[in-house]
Amino acid sequence: MDRVGRDRVKAAIQQAQQRARSEQIAPQDVLAHAVAAVADLTVPTALHEILNATGVVLHTNAGRASLAAPARQALAVAAGYVDVELDLTTGRRSGRGRATLDALRAVVPTATDVLAVNNGAAALVLATTTLAAGSEVVVSRGEMVEIGDGFRLPDLIESTGARLREVGTTNRTKLADYADAVGPGTGAILKVHPSNFRVEGFTSAVGVAELAGLGVPVIADVGSGLLHPHPLLPDEPDVTTALADGAGIVTASGDKLLGGPQAGLIFGTTDLVQRLRRHPLARAVRLDKLTHAALEATLTHGHGPTGARPGLPTWDALTVRPEDLRTRSDGLAAELGRQGIECEVVPSAGAVGGGGAPGLELPGWAVALPEDTASALRLQTPAVLARVSAGRTLVDLRCVPPEREPDLARSVVAAVKGG
Ligand SMILES: *Cc1c(COP(=O)(O)O)cnc(C)c1O
């Protein structure tokens, strides 16, 4: 029971009782069915569930976005045989993951064609290989970013056989720098969002709209998968604006601000996306059926053409009101107090994380515990990932679903009392 959590055990029992009431199973089999359902929940896997109490919404080491309920259900369906490449009406083969691509078109209607691949890096590699292998890709020196874990964009681009043509300086690049570099040997201009750092002071960069006038295709890597401008993230580039500004190809990740599974999203003009789709590399970076299912469900149930809907964990965590976090933190502190644990509710700033909106602070609150609590919290079931700051362990409820607070409280009690 500790491993699975009280709520899920209760749900398994209630489900078995319900099945008995609707005469799907015999009354004497209720217990056996409930036990089997709980056993299914304890299938051994090397991955441990984490309650993310860091306040960092897209925590890279915790797998970035947490999926919405419809996406989780879609994953379970896709685990078996599914019509990922089959038209059930005719019985004939169909385009792979057609529903996913339709859903992508629906959320960004201005994209004339779309494609989805394995991750953001694959989208970029496919675009660069197709448009610029054997020729030059023009990039600003201010955008030669390291994505993380040692992966550097220049290395990624050169691995495709394209030659990198660097222009401008780290802090300033002008339209003339690009214009001077563009010529018959240019395959594409690449505009990369520096998504994990900020350059401040004497800076200048050239927008997609100006680059689009230079007569070669512009690839815009917006990074986070923000589909439309959002007032909460004023400096974060979005897919719709990049397309409106004239980018031929826009690439983004599925598991950042989109709140979906790991995927690389490609939006663009029909001729360019069609070239990407036909390139042999497209087959090597294609999406598996599980990702098709989860991505389609995220787009259909989590996003309208005007933005993200409530119930998408990423956006719920980004938009939770500070006063609600205060109330929830007070509730947790009171519960811990009843168990004899000393703690304090303190202001705590959350972050977008995962390569999005660097430097943006999301105001909120956290429950402060002694510093050494963090390591014990990681070893509980469910594991709790907290943030250590200024000699304290901060438990921030921003990214913890409210219905999991009882589980979190139990893990904190066990961690503090040495359980
Ligand atoms: C995150 C990011 C990538 C890499 O995307 P993955 O989905 O992690 O492969 C590439 N470019 C930018 C600007 C990013 O923010």
Q: How far apart are CA 256 and CA 273, in angstroms?
A: 22
287: three-class secondary structure by DSSP = coil
In the structure encoding, which two tokens stand for residue 396, read together? 């921030």
pLDDT of 298 over the 70 cut: yes
Check: CB of residue 178 under 8 Å from CB of residue 145.
no
User: Which atom of ligand 1 sits closest to the CA of residue 193?
Assistant: 13
**Cα three-residue angle 111-116-122, rounded to 5 degrees:** 115
Instruction: Dig out the tokens for 79 from the structure.
Output: 């685990």
Whose C-alpha lies nearest to ligand 1, atom 11? 223
Q: Which amino acid is at 381?
A: T
Q: What are the CA-CA distances from residue 229 to residues 224, 234, 305, 355 (Å)? A: 12, 7, 12, 17
CA 126–ligand 1 middle distance (angstroms): 13
What is the distance in A from the centroid of ligand 1 to the CA of 237? 13
- For residue 307, how far is its CA from the centre of ligand 1 (angstroms)? 21
d(CA 1, CA 160): 50
Average pLDDT of span 287-307: 93
- Cα–Cα nearest to 193, from 135, 242, 261: 242
| 257 Cβ below 6 A of ligand 1 | no
Is residue 225 within 6 Å of ligand 1 at its C-beta? Answer: no
Q: Spell out the residues 6+ positions from residue 390 whose beta carbon is closer than 8 angstroms to its own.
A: none
CA–centroid distance, 123 to ligand 1, in Å, is 9
Per-residue confidence (pLDDT) for residue 399, from 0 to 100: 98
193 lines ligand 1 (CB under 6 A): yes
Q: Is 97 in the pocket of ligand 1 (CB under 6 A)?
A: no
Q: Is the CB of 251 under 6 A from ligand 1?
A: no
pLDDT per position as a tens digit, 140-159 = 999 988 877 777 888 999 99
Least confident window among 4-8, 66-70, 280-284: 4-8
Please determine, for residue 282, whether its predicted confidence score (pLDDT) is greater than 90: yes
Ligand 1 mutation target, pool 253, 265, 291, most atoms within 8 A of CB: 253
The predicted-structure confidence for 88-137, as pLDDT tens digits, reads as follows 999 999 999 999 999 999 999 999 999 999 999 999 999 999 999 999 99
Task: State the pLDDT at residue 386.
Answer: 98
Q: Does the pLDDT at position 55 exceed 80?
A: yes
Specify the residue with its C-alpha closest to ligand 1, atom 6.
120
5 vs 20, residue with greater confidence: 20
In a 13 Å sphere around the CA of 306, the CA atoms on its Cβ side amount to 2
Q: How far is the CA of 223 from the centre of ligand 1 (A)?
A: 5
Q: What is the mean pLDDT of residues 201-208?
A: 91
CA angle 118-129-166, nearest 5°? 110
CB of residue 64 inside a 6 A radius of ligand 1: no
Residue from 117, 140, 195 to probe ligand 1 pocket by mutation (most atoms less than 8 Å from CB): 195
Confidence of residue 2 (pLDDT cuts 50, 70, 90): low
Q: CA 112, CA 271: separation in Å to the nearest integer?
A: 9
Q: Which two tokens stand for residue 183?
A: 């010529």
The answer to whether 4 and 11 have CB atoms below 8 angstroms apart is no
> Phi and psi at residue 398, in whole multiples of 5°?
-50, -45
- Determine the Cα–Cα distance for residues 56 and 312; give it in Å rounded to an integer: 16
Which pLDDT score, from 0 to 100, does residue 326 have? 98
The total of other beta-carbon atoms located within 10 Å of residue 108's CB is 20
Q: Is 253 in the pocket of ligand 1 (CB under 6 A)?
A: yes
**With bands split at pLDDT 50, 70 and 90, how would you rate the model's confidence at 1?**
low
